[in-house]
């Protein structure tokens, strides 16, 4: 018999077909992006609230259907999913508006009843998938702390540790700090730069992605992911002389960990002097450039995570010097060179850093192999003493993020940045004489790929028709080439569209007839 484990991630869906008798992965399928319009999970939530939860649900279910089709199960018994509360709630088709508003009085005034997010077993037919199997949905600890956060805490050993942190380095960086029995959690909207998106030559951690840069006598050697997501030697680049030499593995783009390595290398060779790239874009190979805008995006992402880490420590009353173990989860947390990430401030000065891979997919896999685990997760959920800090309304986070933006995007000198930290009552660096040891528990973010890895484009389309002059101004204004006219039908590629945060199509329309809210789900 077979089962499917699915990670409904903000940057894409990852699915695995499992052999239940052998407890092994048969094959893996990834999507190039999340199918919902928007660049981050809050955009996905806004889309659902403004354009209809049913539409968002249908888009997600359609994309999951594509992943299942690509996995080609023959004897499917059950399916398990994991992800953050927004993706899981949209997929399940339950209320999500409670995730948008903080405070009970706000929920009451809006007449919103938060649904139960306990772990459960339902049927795939219940969510509208076109096949019949058990569907296991893990619990959220609280409405803000999802199954994905629970996954990284469980799979890292964080729950049995003390004075430790775990962070899933993704678009929506989930992070947790444990001090004694108390767990402090937060979620920093880092944006997609650390997953290689919104970077001009960016791509997910997939074949052809520059994933690291290694110092060599002539400069920096690129490390490129191959078809099985193993690192191969790519071309060489000298940041000072700008000389390039091709290598065996051909690069197609740069992923988030490559961005971090490039920022590190640029700072080390003084090609990057914040906030500028001295001498113009860094060219990695033909067609792959790292621009100043990319540097801004990377800086904002790094700054958001640094501010998040500091905010949790401030809430717990500790400093970076108190952190023993730091666990890094997610694709970026796995492939990144942890010491380079630490040098740019993405990792607190811990005594030990452990890189643990995609824990969300692993938990989905565990649940698919053993559905009774959902009861255990419900018990852990009840016992957990968790304090969630809403960064959006945290004064500490806001003060820290302003400092980070000034440092990364406006060229604030390090001394003034440190002075700013001191004025907030925070220590400016970790212990001076601590050597961090790094353990990479997994070589790949997906622990086991199986016999094949397939990557598909979600390709879910939204369509609309209305009378107008068909001048194409709306399509020309679309920054993502997500909008096209097929005869008199407007077709939006949902996964490419930036959603509610953009709406340039509507703004560009001279007749003011473009109606984004009228779009409905069409065919592929």
Candidate ranges 60-68, 147-155, 163-171, 499-507; the one touching ligand SF4 (CB under 6 A): 499-507
Residue 413, CA atoms < 13 Å, CB-side half-sphere: 3
**Under rule CB under 6 A, residue 498 binds ligand SF4:** yes
Q: Are 161 and 274 in contact (CB under 8 A)?
A: no
Q: Closer to ligand SF4 at the Cβ: 392 or 471? A: 471
**Under rule CB under 6 A, residue 520 binds ligand SF4:** no
Residues 6+ apart with CB under 8 A from 135: 78, 79, 80, 81, 121, 122, 123, 124, 126, 127, 129
Q: Facing residues of 184 across strands?
A: 177, 387
The 10 Å Cβ neighbour count of residue 248 is: 10
> x/- string (CB under 6 A) for ligand SF4, residues 428-467?
----------------------------------------
**Under rule CB under 6 A, residue 505 binds ligand SF4:** yes
Helix (H, G, I), strand (E, B) or coil at 129: coil
Q: Closer to ligand SF4 at the Cβ: 200 or 436? A: 200
CB of 491 to ligand SF4, least distance (A): 10
* Token representation of residue 308: 């998040």
CB of 506 to ligand SF4, least distance (A): 7
Size of the site for ligand SF4 (CB under 6 A): 25
**Under rule CB under 6 A, residue 471 binds ligand SF4:** yes
Q: Are 99 and 352 in contact (CB under 8 A)?
A: no
| Contacting residue, 442, 444, 492, 495, with ligand SF4 by CB under 6 A | 492
Q: Are 203 and 257 in contact (CB under 8 A)?
A: no
Q: Closer to ligand SF4 at the Cβ: 338 or 497? A: 497
| Contacting residue, 115, 422, 513, 517, with ligand SF4 by CB under 6 A | 513
List strands edge to edge, sheet with 120-123: 120-123, 134-137, 76-83, 2-9, 12-19, 24-31, 453-456
**Under rule CB under 6 A, residue 519 binds ligand SF4:** no
Q: Burial letters for 136-175: b for 16+ Cβ neighbours within 10 Å, e otherwise?
A: bbbbbbbbbbbbbbbbbbbbbebbeeebbbbbbbbbbbbb
**Under rule CB under 6 A, residue 509 binds ligand SF4:** yes
| Contacting residue, 239, 478, 491, 495, with ligand SF4 by CB under 6 A | 478
The 10 Å Cβ neighbour count of residue 112 is: 17
Name the maximum alpha-carbon separation found in the chain: 70
| Contacting residue, 503, 518, 521, 522, with ligand SF4 by CB under 6 A | 503
Residues 6+ apart with CB under 8 A from 372: none
| Contacting residue, 184, 220, 335, 514, with ligand SF4 by CB under 6 A | 514
**Under rule CB under 6 A, residue 118 binds ligand SF4:** no
| Contacting residue, 225, 272, 368, 483, with ligand SF4 by CB under 6 A | 483
Q: Closer to ligand SF4 at the Cβ: 353 or 483? A: 483
CB of 268 to ligand SF4, least distance (A): 36
Helix (H, G, I), strand (E, B) or coil at 43: helix
**Under rule CB under 6 A, residue 350 binds ligand SF4:** no
**Under rule CB under 6 A, residue 472 binds ligand SF4:** yes
What does 72-100 look like in DSSP terms, one character per residue? --SSEEEEEEEE-HHHHHHHHT---GGGT
**Under rule CB under 6 A, residue 473 binds ligand SF4:** yes
**Under rule CB under 6 A, residue 470 binds ligand SF4:** yes
**Under rule CB under 6 A, residue 484 binds ligand SF4:** no
**Under rule CB under 6 A, residue 468 binds ligand SF4:** yes
* Token representation of residue 67: 């992943």
**Under rule CB under 6 A, residue 494 binds ligand SF4:** no
Interface with ligand SF4 in residues 247-266 (CB under 6 A): none
Residue 345, CA atoms < 13 Å, CB-side half-sphere: 23
| Contacting residue, 133, 284, 329, 502, with ligand SF4 by CB under 6 A | 502
What's the CA gap between 141 and 118, in Å, rounded?
8
- Matching residue, tokens 């995730």: 99
Q: Are 242 and 269 in contact (CB under 8 A)?
A: no
CB of 469 to ligand SF4, least distance (A): 5
Pairing of strands 520-521, 461-465: antiparallel
**Under rule CB under 6 A, residue 59 binds ligand SF4:** no
| Contacting residue, 95, 161, 269, 480, with ligand SF4 by CB under 6 A | 480
**Under rule CB under 6 A, residue 39 binds ligand SF4:** no
**Under rule CB under 6 A, residue 204 binds ligand SF4:** no
Q: Are 364 and 5 in contact (CB under 8 A)?
A: yes
| Contacting residue, 113, 423, 469, 517, with ligand SF4 by CB under 6 A | 469
> What long-range pairs does 503-510 form, CB within 8 A, spacing at least 24?
504/477, 504/478, 504/479, 505/474, 505/475, 505/477, 505/478, 506/474, 507/477, 508/473, 508/474, 508/476, 508/477, 509/468, 509/473, 509/474, 510/469, 510/471, 510/473
Candidate ranges 17-25, 39-47, 73-81, 477-485; the one touching ligand SF4 (CB under 6 A): 477-485
| Contacting residue, 206, 482, 491, 495, with ligand SF4 by CB under 6 A | 482
What's the CA gap between 2 and 74, in Å, rounded?
8
Q: Closer to ligand SF4 at the Cβ: 73 or 499? A: 499
| Contacting residue, 423, 429, 511, 517, with ligand SF4 by CB under 6 A | 511
Q: Closer to ligand SF4 at the Cβ: 336 or 478? A: 478
What's the CA gap between 87 and 229, in Å, rounded?
26
Q: Closer to ligand SF4 at the Cβ: 176 or 498? A: 498
Residue ranges that bind ligand SF4, judged by CB under 6 A: 468-474, 477-478, 480, 482-483, 492, 497-499, 502-505, 508-509, 511, 513-514
């Amino acid at each position: 018999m077979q089962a499917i484990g699915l990670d409904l991630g903000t940057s894409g869906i990852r699915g695995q077909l499992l052999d239940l008798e052998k407890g092994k992965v048969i094959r893996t399928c990834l999507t190039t992006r999340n199918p919902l319009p928007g660049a981050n999970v809050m955009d996905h939530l806004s889309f659902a609230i403004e354009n209809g939860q049913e539409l968002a649900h249908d888009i997600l279910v359609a994309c999951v259907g594509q992943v299942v089709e690509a996995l080609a199960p023959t004897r499917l018994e059950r399916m398990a999913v994991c992800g953050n509360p927004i993706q899981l709630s949209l997929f399940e088709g339950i209320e999500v508006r409670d995730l948008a508003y903080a405070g009970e009085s706000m929920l009451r005034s809006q007449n919103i009843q938060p649904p139960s997010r306990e772990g459960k077993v339902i049927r795939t037919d219940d969510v509208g998938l076109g096949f019949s199997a058990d569907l296991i949905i893990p619990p959220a600890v609280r409405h803000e702390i999802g199954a994905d956060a629970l996954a990284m805490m469980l799979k890292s050993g964080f729950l049995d540790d003390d004075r430790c942190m775990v962070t899933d380095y993704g678009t929506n960086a989930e992070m947790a700090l444990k001090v004694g029995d108390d767990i402090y959690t937060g979620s920093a909207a880092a944006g997609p730069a650390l997953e290689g998106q919104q970077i001009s030559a960016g791509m997910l951690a997939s074949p052809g992605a520059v994933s690291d840069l290694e110092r060599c006598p002539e400069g920096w050697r690129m490390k490129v992911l191959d078809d099985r997501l193993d690192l191969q030697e790519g071309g060489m680049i000298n940041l000072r002389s700008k000389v390039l030499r091709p290598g065996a593995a051909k690069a197609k783009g740069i992923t988030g960990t490559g961005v971090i390595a490039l920022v590190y290398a640029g700072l080390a060779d003084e090609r990057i002097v914040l906030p500028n790239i001295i001498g113009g874009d860094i060219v990695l190979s033909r067609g792959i450039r790292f621009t100043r805008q990319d540097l801004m995006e990377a800086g904002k992402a790094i700054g958001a995570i640094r501010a998040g880490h500091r905010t949790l420590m401030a809430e717990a009353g500790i400093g970076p010097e108190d952190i023993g173990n730091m666990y890094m989860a997610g694709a970026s947390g796995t492939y990144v060179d942890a010491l380079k990430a630490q040098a740019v401030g993405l990792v607190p000065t811990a005594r030990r850093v452990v890189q643990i891979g995609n824990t969300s997919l692993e938990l989905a896999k565990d649940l698919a192999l053993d559905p009774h685990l959902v009861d255990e997760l419900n018990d852990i959920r009840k016992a957990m003493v968790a304090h969630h800090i809403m960064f959006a309304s945290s004064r500490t986070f806001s003060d820290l993020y302003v400092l980070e933006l000034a440092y990364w995007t406006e060229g604030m000198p390090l001394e003034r940045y440190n002075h700013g930290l001191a004025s907030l009552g925070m220590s400016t660096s970790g212990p001076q004489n601590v050597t961090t040891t790094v353990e990479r528990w997994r070589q790949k973010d997906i622990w086991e790929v199986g016999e094949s890895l397939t990557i598909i484009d979600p390709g879910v389309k939204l369509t609309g028709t209305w009378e107008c002059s068909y001048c194409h101004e709306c399509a020309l204004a679309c920054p993502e080439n997500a909008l096209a006219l097929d005869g008199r039908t407007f077709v939006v590629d949902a996964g490419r569209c930036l959603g509610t945060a953009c709406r340039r199509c509507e703004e560009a329309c001279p007749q003011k007839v473009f109606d984004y809210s009228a779009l409905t789900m069409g065919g592929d």
